[in-house]
A and B are shown apart, each in its own frame.
Chain A
Amino acid sequence: MKKYVCLLLLSVLAACQPKGYHLADRTAQRIGVDSLTASADSSVARFLQPYREGLNRSMNEVLARSTARIEKGQPDAALNDLLSDALLQQARLRYGKSIDMSHLNYGGIRNNLPEGDITTGSIFEVMPFDNQLVVLTLRGDMLQQLLDHFANGDKLVVGGIRAKVHGGHAHDVVFGNGRTLQPAELYTVAMSDYIADGGDNASFLKNAVKRETLTYLIRDALLDYFRQQGKTGQPIKPVSDGRISLD
């Protein structure tokens, strides 16, 4: 009987008892993942192996050959010119109509290209980011603002135009067809979505007349360009044409 009284009492208490749990203690650890903390799990390593082999095969594809190392530089260099020209050509193909010029973010060119074989891996090292190629339509005065923005610091990397830079200001801008820059005219510029969206403090570009996405990664455009170059059988002879000069 005593037992049942006890049970009854406990049941009443249980009914009143707040449900659930509460946190009584917590500790944290940040575990570094390296060869010292853990060896590779063999089953996961085996699972990954075929993917890695496929990756190595495709990263080792020789796209084109170059007679010399192709380097980036300021205010102008062979790699600046090659990449911005490649971008302009591929953007025009993708867009299906003419584009006035191309622009590349100097800081976004992450490596130089080797002498000899240029592989897919080489292009990934030059352009590891997955920025999309976009076409902005700008009024001439905003285009001037864009050129000045990057001329300031000698980081103007462009295709389709020649220009002189003086005191962070771009002048004597000439397009491929010989036209000069007119403030009230409209121009199309192929560039990275990163810049078009105001990256690198270029927020003024958000007021562009038009913004079109090509759904084409800049790196994919470069891969296509270099593969095409390789198919011509002619090696790339890197030269800078001095399209940007300081005066």
Chain B
Amino acid sequence: MDASASTRRDLLKLLGTAAVIGATTPNLLGGTGHQAPVRLTLLHTNDVHSRLDPFPMDGGRNAGKGGVARRATLIEQIRRQEKNVLLFDAGDIFQGTPYFNLYKGEPEILAMNRLGYDAGTLGNHDFDGGIDNMVTQFGKATFPMLVANYDFNNTVLAGRTKPYKVFVKEGIRVGVFGLGIKPEGLIPKDAYRETVYLDPVDVAMTTAQQLRQQERCDYVVCLSHLGYKYEGPTISDTVLAGKTRNIDLIIGGHTHTFLDAPVAINNLDGLPVWVNQVGFAGINLGRLDLTFERGKAALTGQSLEIKA
């Protein structure tokens, strides 16, 4: 590469920058061109519950649906079409078919490795084989388990999970963190032992702010196993969205909620947070296609209409 080519490239980069500025501050340079927007595709599952095979053809409502091998084909097709794909799971990977009872979660995790999951969070049923089994099985994962509101310091899981991870796709910084449900009364104490549950709203506020500011994330995703919505004030994805800021998307689980499309809930700043959940057992794969443009949008500019 010669020097002039390099200079030309720099100039083009700068011109591209100028074009964006031109778009936001019109007539400064008289530029009207647009830098190509960046597309990001987020795929997600929740509450797969060891359903590696499709439901049996027994005349039941879900007969023939799901199956990890089919999900693999779908994900592969999308990866061939889209440059920037991230694949997440919102917890309860384990429990629900004899696969879990027999193999303690190994085929579930190894299958997720094959499908190229980028991250997951912990569901209450992921504790069902006990916390030692979590060390064994999640130790086989090639993707991180993200959970910010469980303090595992006094357990064997210490250091085995991360609160969050930042993914960079074509310059877009996507911050992803996880939230787990309150174990007490839901998970046998013997299974979660000395795990300390921290308030999801407090943790979400701190973590999302850290991702937005220190980690300079353009988009913040919460993988949550809190559940979509409850009667009363119990913390849920719906409550969380409204009580926090800096979160753009909550990929939820636990309540096995089949949302036809993501639901938008305004956060503390009046900005819409997308909340989504796609049922259970791998019957569905959630797909969100996001388009990013250079620079910061005006606050009103983020108030997007929902297209489903």
Contact = CB atoms under 8 A, between A and B. Distances in A.
Interface string A57-73: 01100000000000000
A34 B185 contact: no
Interface in B16-34: 17-18, 20-21, 28-29
B114 A21 contact: no
A23 interface: yes
A31 B87 CA distance: 14
Contacts of B74: 31, 33, 37-38
A107 interface: no
B68 A48 contact: yes
Contacts of A11: 14
Given A55-B98, A58-B98, A33 B291 contact: no
Interface residues of B, number: 84
Interface in B257-308: 258-262, 274, 276, 278, 282-297, 301-302, 304, 306-308
B66 interface: yes
Contact of B76 (A26, A30, A41): A41
Interface in A191-224: 193, 197-198, 213, 215, 219
Contacts of B102: 51, 54-55, 58
B188 A33 contact: no
Contact of A23 (B71, B171, B185, B290): B290
Contacts of B282: 33
Interface stretch (A12-20, A149-157, A171-179): A12-20
B90 interface: no
Contact of A39 (B64, B73, B98, B216): B73
Contact of B173 (A20, A30, A45, A219): A20
A26 B304 contact: yes
Nearest to B258: A30
> What interface size band does chain A fall in?
35 or more
A206 to B, nearest CB: 8
A25 interface: yes
- Point out which of B173, B261, B294 has the most chain A C-beta atoms below 10 A from its C-beta: B294
A135 to B, nearest CB: 13
A13 B17 contact: yes
Interface of B: 11, 14-15, 17-18, 20-21, 28-29, 37-38, 52-54, 64-74, 76-77, 95-96, 98-99, 101-103, 106-107, 110-111, 114-115, 125, 128, 171-173, 185-186, 188-190, 216, 218-219, 248, 258-262, 274, 276, 278, 282-297, 301-302, 304, 306-308
Given A26-B274, A44-B114, 20 more contacts: A13-B29, A14-B17, A18-B296, A20-B216, A20-B296, A22-B297, A26-B304, A27-B307, A28-B261, A28-B287, A28-B306, A28-B307, A33-B65, A33-B66, A34-B65, A37-B74, A43-B72, A55-B99, A128-B96, A213-B188
